[in-house]
Amino acid sequence: MHNLRPSAARKSANLSINADLLRQAKQLNINLSQTLELRLTEMIRQAQSRQWLAENRSALDEYNRRIETNGTFSDGLRRF
């Protein structure tokens, strides 16, 4: 997963937005750039997490099968 650098340079972007949403955001003094960055960051992290899980699913399944079959190395050592 790639880290997002908060210090990365800012870049202008043109986009379209629902006029009612824009009006309400302006009335409420919502910073559109900050809001978009926060939500995009969240969406990117979720997508990267899903991608990582998909790419590693077989290894995770194999690990879980091994633990079910053989247990963990500490099964005989735990006191809880």
What pLDDT, in 10s, does the model give residues 7-52?
Answer: 889 999 999 999 999 999 999 999 999 999 999 999 999 999 999 9
**pLDDT score recorded for residue 14:** 93
Domain boundaries, the chain: 22-69
pTM higher than the cut 0.95: no
**pLDDT score recorded for residue 40:** 94
Contact 3, 44 (CB under 8 A): no
Q: Give the chain's length.
A: 80
Rounded Cα distance, 22 and 33, in Å? 12
Q: How far is CA 41 from the centre of its chain?
A: 7
Structure-derived torsion over alpha carbons of residues 34, 37, 39, 44, reported in degrees to the nearest 10: -170
pLDDT > 90? residue 77: no
User: What confidence category does residue 2 fall into, taking pLDDT thresholds of 50, 70 and 90?
Assistant: low
Rounded Cα distance, 44 and 32, in Å? 18
